[in-house]
């Protein structure tokens, strides 16, 4: 599928790019027309820092943030986001404060929970959630339920890519949107248009990457 790769760049910074590959991909809950590779933003310090700078804009002068809850391997991005929010400057509301970075674990019954030693850091706190991508929103909704259980106040959701501008009435601040990949679609497996048209699966995918079907 190498010949199906293309790159999209943020209009705000040439350092913020993602690789996209077109195909027929399956996750455990959906079929998708594209795989979005954001590994550069997960592993490159300069790329993650540039991305975090852009993602910090909605919060810098408006929102107290106590905790960043990161998902999908976005811990480096979350760390740089915290650094941006803690910078000194006129109107930077978190300057001189502290921001904790935590991630939930998945329990045996499929619920997101926090370990006992982490709970005291998030109970009744102001939280920003960072995710790699937002499509159907099922996982994010489960995380939001978890945060609500611990009394967290959601300040915002930050994503590298989001197909929708909001989830459950909450705005998603994303670096890339459906406008950047207008041909991107996702389906329930039973309703997949590609399957209906006889297009075979190219690969299975998750947040770590994809495995081609040979």
Whichever domain contains 100, its CATH number is: 3.40.50.2020
So what's the pLDDT on residue 177? 93
Confidence class of residue 135 from pLDDT cuts 50, 70 and 90? confident
pLDDT over 70 percentage in the chain? 99
Q: Quick one: pLDDT at residue 3?
A: 61
| Comparison of pLDDT for 169 and 180, the residue scoring more | 180
Placement of tokens 């650094």 in the chain: 83
What is the arithmetic mean of pLDDT over 70-98? 93
Q: Is 137's pLDDT higher than 80?
A: no
- Domain range for 91 is 2-212
Whether residue 1 is predicted with pLDDT greater than 80 in this model: the reply is no
pLDDT at 2 over 70: no
Q: What is the mean pLDDT of the chain?
A: 92
The domain tally of the chain equals: 1
On whether the CB atoms of residues 106 and 115 are closer than 8 A, the answer is: no
Mean pLDDT computed over 116-127: 95
Q: Judge if pTM exceeds 0.75.
A: yes
In order, the DSSP letters of 130-197 are EEEEESS-HHHHHHHHHHHHTT-EEEEEEEEEESSSEETTEEEEEEEETTTSTT--EE-GGG-HHHHT
User: Given a cut of 80, is residue 101 above it in pLDDT?
Assistant: yes
Number of alpha carbons in the 13 Å side-chain half-sphere of residue 127: 25
């Amino acid at each position: 599928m190498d010949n199906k790769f293309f790159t999209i760049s943020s209009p705000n910074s040439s350092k913020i790019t993602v690789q996209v590959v077109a195909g027929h991909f399956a996750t455990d809950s959906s079929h998708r027309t594209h795989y979005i590779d954001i590994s550069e933003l997960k592993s490159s310090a300069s790329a993650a820092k540039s991305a975090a700078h852009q993602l910090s804009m909605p919060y810098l002068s408006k929102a107290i943030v106590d905790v960043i809850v990161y998902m999908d391997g976005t811990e480096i991005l979350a760390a740089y986001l915290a650094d941006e929010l803690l910078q000194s400057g006129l109107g930077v509301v978190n300057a001189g404060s502290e921001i904790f970075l935590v991630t939930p674990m998945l329990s045996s019954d499929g619920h997101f929970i926090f370990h006992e030693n982490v709970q005291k850091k998030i109970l009744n706190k102001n939280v920003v959630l960072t995710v790699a991508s937002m499509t159907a929103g099922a996982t994010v909704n489960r995380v939001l339920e978890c945060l609500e259980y611990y009394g967290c106040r959601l300040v915002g959701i930050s994503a590298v890519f989001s197909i929708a501008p909001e989830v459950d009435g909450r705005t998603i601040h994303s670096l890339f949107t459906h406008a950047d990949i207008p041909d991107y679609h996702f389906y329930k497996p039973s309703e997949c248009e590609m399957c209906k048209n006889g297009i075979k699966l190219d690969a299975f995918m998750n947040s770590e990457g994809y495995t081609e079907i040979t």
